[in-house]
Each structure stands twice: as C-alpha cells, then as structure tokens.
C-alpha cells in the first residue's frame, strides 16, 4: 500500500475539490483502488458534480438539514457546532475510487470533494491510500 497525506485549508470554502490531488497521487500507479479518508469527526467526502451549482446546492441542503442553533446535545465550540458532528453520518468520511493504469475511473461529471461545514477547525488532513489490484 502506498499512502500520502494532504493538508487542506477550508477557511474560505465549505467544499474543496480534491480530484486533481487524487489524480496526481494515482498517476504513477497501475491498477487498483484509491481510498480517500478524512480522519476528522466533523468532515466528510463526496463524489459529486462541481461547478454547475451542485456544490452550492449540497451546502444549502446540509445547512437546512443541520441548522446551526442550540438544539444539539454536543455543545462545545461555536453555536451549532453539534451539527458538525452529525455531518459524517450523512456524508461519509471516506470514498474509494477504482484506478486503471494510473487513471481514476470517475464518471464524466464526478469529482472527489471534501465537505467541511465546521468553522472551528479550518485545517484538514486527507489520507490517500493506493492498494494495487
């Protein structure tokens, strides 16, 4: 297994497209699987279309599902931070993408996206792992 760790700044964005980073990581590999994992209790990863409004639609939907108010039992951090801890139950902290001859086998409009609504921690680690097939 080959691994790498990305350090991502989410202070200016709630969604960060990681596709090019994942492509670069896999480009020198052969056939196998690329696992992308965010080891944080308040962030997740998604495969989705970006740049066409879908990214804003996802953020809007998550903010409607997980309002930033005092309804949560988990209360440390900024107001509504409990919502951040529910996010990974809805948006998985990992995705796996097949790789063929160093090429990610994503669909035409799919991108690998880090989802981070948590404003208390703008630094995220993302672990990439390649498992040869």
* Structure confidence at residue 10 (pLDDT): 95
Over residues 11-22, mean pLDDT = 96
| Token pair recorded at residue 111 | 């991108």
Tell me the DSSP string of 21-69.
Answer: HHHHHHTT--SEEEEEE---TT-EEEEE--SSSHHHHHHHHHHHHS-SS
Q: Which domains does the chain have, with CATH numbers?
A: 2-132 (2.60.120.460)
86 pLDDT band (50/70/90 cuts)? very high
Residue whose pair of structure tokens reads 């080891």 in the numeric block: 39
**Per-residue pLDDT reduced to its tens digit, 40-59:** 999 999 999 999 999 999 99
pTM of the model: 0.94
| Token pair recorded at residue 84 | 């951040």
Q: How far apart are alpha carbons 104 and 5 in whole angstroms?
A: 18
| Token pair recorded at residue 8 | 């991502």
| Token pair recorded at residue 53 | 């409004």
* Rg of the chain over all Cα atoms, to the nearest angstrom: 15
Residue whose pair of structure tokens reads 């097949």 in the numeric block: 98
């Amino acid at each position: 297994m080959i691994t790498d760790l990305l350090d991502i700044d989410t202070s200016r964005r709630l969604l960060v497209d990681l596709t090019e980073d994942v492509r670069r990581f896999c480009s020198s590999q052969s056939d196998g699987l690329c696992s992308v994992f965010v080891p944080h209790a308040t962030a997740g990863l998604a495969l989705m279309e970006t740049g066409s409004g879908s990214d804003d639609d996802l953020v809007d939907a998550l903010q409607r599902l997980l309002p930033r108010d005092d309804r949560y039992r988990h209360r440390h951090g900024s107001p509504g931070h409990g919502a951040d801890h529910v996010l990974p139950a809805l948006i998985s902290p990992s995705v796996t993408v097949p790789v063929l001859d160093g090429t990610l086998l994503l669909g035409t409009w799919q991108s690998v996206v880090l989802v981070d609504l948590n404003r208390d921690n703008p630094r995220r680690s993302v672990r990439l792992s390649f498992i040869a097939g």
